[in-house]
Structure 1
C-alpha cells in the first residue's frame, strides 16, 4: 500500500502544480480584463449620453457590430489572414538575418567595428522613409511589404542578441576553449544558449515593432489587410471601421505576444528568478 502511495505521489504533485498554474493564469487573465471592461463601460455610457460624438468616436457596441458584420460576410478573415501572413514571413526573415549578423557582431570585435556603426545608422531611419525606396526597387507587391516588416523586426532582435552575447559569463567561454571548441561550435553550444533570455526578449520586441511596420507596409498600395481597412475607413469617413481595425491590431498583437511569452516561460523554466509580491 505504501509502495503504491509512493508511486502515485509524484503524479499527484505534478497534477497539483498544473492545476495551480492554470488557476494562476485564470486569475491573471481575470485581473487583466478589469481595466478594459471598466473603460469600455465608461466609453459606452459617455457615447450614449452624447459626450463622445458618434461620428467621431462610435460606441463599443457599434464597433463590435462592425466586426461582427465583417466576420459574417467573410471579409474579416481575409484581411486578418493576409496581415498575419505578411507579419509571419517578415518576422522569420528579420529574425534569421538578426541571428546571423548579431551572432557575428557580438562575438567578433572586428565584425562589430566593421558593421555595427552602419547598422546603428540604419536603425535611426524612420519606417516610412523606406517605403518609396522599396516601392522603387520591388514595386507595390508582397516582396516590398514583407521586406519592410523584416527591416522593422531586425533591429530589436539584433540589439538583444549582441547585448546577450557580449554579456555571457567569461568562464563559460573559457570552458569551451578548454574543450577545443571551434568558434562556430562555441557560438552554437555555449554563447547562443547563454544569450537565450536576451534573445527571447528581442523576439518579443521585434514582434511588437513588426506590427507597427505592418501598417506602413499595407500603406504601400495594398488592397487587402487590416492596414488597408484603416485607409479605407479614412477615405470613406467611417470611424467605426478605423477603430475596428485598431482593435484588431490590439487583439492580434496581444495574442501573438502571449504566444511568445509562453514560449519564453517554457524555454527559461530553468531560471531561478525572484518571487514577486502579489
Structure 2
C-alpha cells in the first residue's frame, strides 16, 4: 500500500511537470515561463556556491526565529486566555486584527519600525501567532472536563495533571498549528524580504531575478524556498511526533 501511494504521488508530480514543460514550449517569449530543465540547470548552478548557502542561512535564521517566537508567545497567551477571561477579551480583537490586515500592509508598516534585515522575523511572528494562539486555546477549551474533575477529586498535583491530561489533549491542536504555521512563516517571511530587500537574503535574490528577467533563476529560487520549507517542516513534524509518543507513554 505504501509503495502504491508513493507511485501515485510520483505520477501526479510528473504530470504537472509535463504540463509545465508543455506550457513553456507553447509560449514564444521564453522569459515569461522557464522550462523545468532550465530551472534545474539554474538550481544546479546555484547550489555549489557560497552565496547560495549564505542566502539560505540568512533567511532561514530569521524566519525560524519569528516562527519559534510565535510558538512560544501563542502558547503562553492561549494559556493565559483560557484561565483569565479579561485576558481573552483583550487579546481577541488583536488576533482578529492581525488575521484581517493584509501581509503587504504589515510589511510596509513594519519597515517604519525595524531594520529590513530583521523584517522577516517580525512578519513571520505576526503571521504565525494567531494560528498557534487560536489552535492551542481551542485545544485547552476542548480538554475533557470529566478527567479534570477526576484529577481534582483525587487531588492530583497540577504538574502531574498537566503532563497526564492537558498536554496529551492539547498536543494535536498544537501540532496542527505548527504544520500550518511553518508554511505561513516561510511565505510571509520571503514576502517581507522581497519588499524590504535586506542584503544577502533569498527575497533579494528573487527580486533581482525578476528585475533582470532571469526567469530560470526566479523559478530556481522559488524551488529552493519550497524545498527548504518542506525540509524544515518534515524535520520539525518528526520531532513533534517523537515528543507526542513520549506524552502518550506517560513520560514526564
Normalised to the residue count of structure 1, the TM-score between the two structures is 0.78
| Equivalent position of 1:258 in the other structure | 234
Once the two structures are TM-superposed, the CA of residue 251 in structure 1 deviates from its matched residue by: 1.6
Once the two structures are TM-superposed, the CA of residue 185 in structure 1 deviates from its matched residue by: 6.8
1:243-254 paired onto structure 2 within 5 Å:
243-254=219-230
The number of residue pairs the alignment matches comes to 246
Unaligned runs of 5+ in 2: none
Q: Tell me which moved more, 31-40 or 233-242.
A: 31-40
Match status 1:90 vs 2:73: no
Work out whether residues 233 and 241 of structure 1, in 8 Å CA contact, stay in contact via their aligned partners in 2.
yes
Find the partner of 2:21 among 33, 40, 44: 44
Q: Tell me which moved more, 126-135 or 243-252.
A: 126-135
Work out whether residues 103 and 187 of structure 1, in 8 Å CA contact, stay in contact via their aligned partners in 2.
no
Instruction: Deviation per CA, 1:112-137: give whole Å up to 9, x if none.
Output: 22322332223212222222332222
| Equivalent position of 1:16 in the other structure | none
Q: In the aligned structure 1, how far is the partner of 2:157 from the partner of 2:208?
A: 55
Match status 1:112 vs 2:92: no
With over 3 angstroms needed to count, the CA separation of the structure-2 counterparts of 1:117 and 1:185, relative to structure 1, is farther
Q: In the aligned structure 1, how far is the partner of 2:149 from the partner of 2:161?
A: 10
SS at match of 2:213: coil
Q: In the aligned structure 1, how far is the partner of 2:75 from the partner of 2:44?
A: 40
With over 3 angstroms needed to count, the CA separation of the structure-2 counterparts of 1:224 and 1:45, relative to structure 1, is same
With over 3 angstroms needed to count, the CA separation of the structure-2 counterparts of 1:85 and 1:258, relative to structure 1, is same
SS at match of 1:55: helix
User: Between Structure 1 and Structure 2, whose CA radius of gyration is higher?
Assistant: 1
Q: In the aligned structure 2, how far is the partner of 1:189 from the partner of 1:99?
A: 18
Q: In the aligned structure 2, how far is the partner of 1:97 from the partner of 1:208?
A: 18
| Equivalent position of 1:228 in the other structure | 204
Once the two structures are TM-superposed, the CA of residue 38 in structure 1 deviates from its matched residue by: 2.3
Name the Cα RMSD after superposition: 2.6
Match status 1:32 vs 2:25: no
Match status 1:198 vs 2:184: no
Once the two structures are TM-superposed, the CA of residue 181 in structure 1 deviates from its matched residue by: 5.6
Q: In the aligned structure 2, how far is the partner of 1:255 from the partner of 1:44?
A: 25
| Equivalent position of 1:172 in the other structure | 147
Match status 1:207 vs 2:219: no
SS at match of 2:197: coil
Unaligned runs of 5+ in 1: 1-22, 272-278
Q: Tell me which moved more, 252-261 or 200-209.
A: 252-261
Q: Tell me which moved more, 226-235 or 156-165.
A: 226-235
Normalised to the residue count of structure 2, the TM-score between the two structures is 0.85
Q: In the aligned structure 1, how far is the partner of 2:60 from the partner of 2:53?
A: 10
| Equivalent position of 1:163 in the other structure | 138
With over 3 angstroms needed to count, the CA separation of the structure-2 counterparts of 1:253 and 1:73, relative to structure 1, is closer
With over 3 angstroms needed to count, the CA separation of the structure-2 counterparts of 1:190 and 1:35, relative to structure 1, is same
